[in-house]
A = this chain, B = another copy of it.
Amino acid sequence: MAVSMSPKQKVYQGVLKEIRQFIDNNQLESGDKLPSERELSEKLQAGRSSIREALRALELLGLIETRHGEGTYLSTYRSLQTVELLSSFILQKSVTKGDLFSTKKMLEKEAAKQVFYDLDENDLDRLRSIIDNSELLPYDKHVMFFEYLFDKTKNLLLKKVWQLMERFSFTINKSYYKPSFYEELLQNYMTNQYGLIENLFNGVVLPYED
B-contacting 9-mer, from A84-92, A120-128, A176-184: A84-92
In the assembled complex, the CB of A140 is this many whole angstroms from the nearest CB of chain B, namely 9
Chain B, Cβ-Cβ closest to A154: B99
Residues of chain B contacted by A60 (CB below 8 angstroms): 57-58, 60-61
In the assembled complex, the CB of A210 is this many whole angstroms from the nearest CB of chain B, namely 8
Count residues of A near B (Cβ-Cβ below 8 Å).
Answer: 59
Residues of chain B contacted by A83 (CB below 8 angstroms): 83, 86-87, 89-91
Residues of chain B contacted by A54 (CB below 8 angstroms): 56
B-contacting 9-mer, from A37-45, A141-149, A158-166, A185-193: A158-166
In the assembled complex, the CB of A93 is this many whole angstroms from the nearest CB of chain B, namely 6
Number of copies: 2
Q: A57-B60, A158-B106, A172-B20 are in contact. Are A90 and B79 (CB under 8 A)?
A: yes
Interface check A95, CB cutoff 8 A: yes
Interface check A17, CB cutoff 8 A: yes
In the assembled complex, the CB of A72 is this many whole angstroms from the nearest CB of chain B, namely 13
Interface check A63, CB cutoff 8 A: yes
**Among A12, A23, A137, residue most surrounded by chain B Cβ atoms (within 10 Å):** A12
A91 CA to B135 CA in the complex, in Å? 36
Interface check A52, CB cutoff 8 A: yes
A62 CA to B57 CA in the complex, in Å? 11
Interface check A49, CB cutoff 8 A: yes
Chain B, Cβ-Cβ closest to A56: B53
A23 CA to B171 CA in the complex, in Å? 12
Interface check A82, CB cutoff 8 A: yes
Interface string of A6-18 (1 = CB under 8 A from B): 1000001100110
Extra inter-chain contacts (20) besides given A6-B210, A23-B89, A49-B52, CB under 8 Å: A16-B85, A53-B53, A58-B89, A60-B61, A78-B90, A79-B95, A80-B87, A80-B90, A82-B87, A83-B86, A83-B90, A84-B87, A86-B86, A86-B87, A88-B164, A95-B156, A99-B155, A99-B156, A106-B110, A157-B165
